[in-house]
Amino acid sequence: MATKLPKLKGLGGVREISRRIRGSDVIYDNRDALASELINLATANVSDIMEWDAAGNTKVKASKDISETAIGAIKKIRVTPDGCLELEMIDRVKVLQLLAKSAGILDREVNSDRPSVVEIQMVGPGEEKK
């Protein structure tokens, strides 16, 4: 009697599953370096790249004076047609949320294995809170 194999449709095939497993092993094996890089991104400041005086005059630091961490935290640099420099840094809040979530800070109370539960009651105009 032949054994019927389960259908793998929708799973992406064996190669895709192997690739996902291998990728997660790589991330897991390098988790300390990944955490360190995320911390570096979260702690980079625009003052690591630019300086300004009391009058509001800005100046970009020389590239030799900018750390690799600060350079890595730059999302976009654009020079406008009028010669102004626009500098956009990565979203620190998202990086900090990711770090907090991976550390379990957002998922549970201190010294507790239980997940946090937040109840939100929305009350429309003219309605009373129940």
CA 126 to chain centre: 40
Q: What number is the average pLDDT over the span 29-50?
A: 88
Contacts of 27 (CB under 8 A, 6+ apart): 34
Q: Global pTM?
A: 0.56
- H or E element that contains 22: helix 13-29
CA dist., res. 94 & res. 72, Å (int): 15
Rg over CA atoms, the chain: 24
Q: Where are the domains of the chain?
A: 13-102
Strand partners, 108: 115
Closest Cα partner for 50 from 42, 39, 40, 62?
62
pLDDT tens for residues 51-98?
A: 999 998 889 999 999 999 999 999 999 999 998 889 999 998 888 888
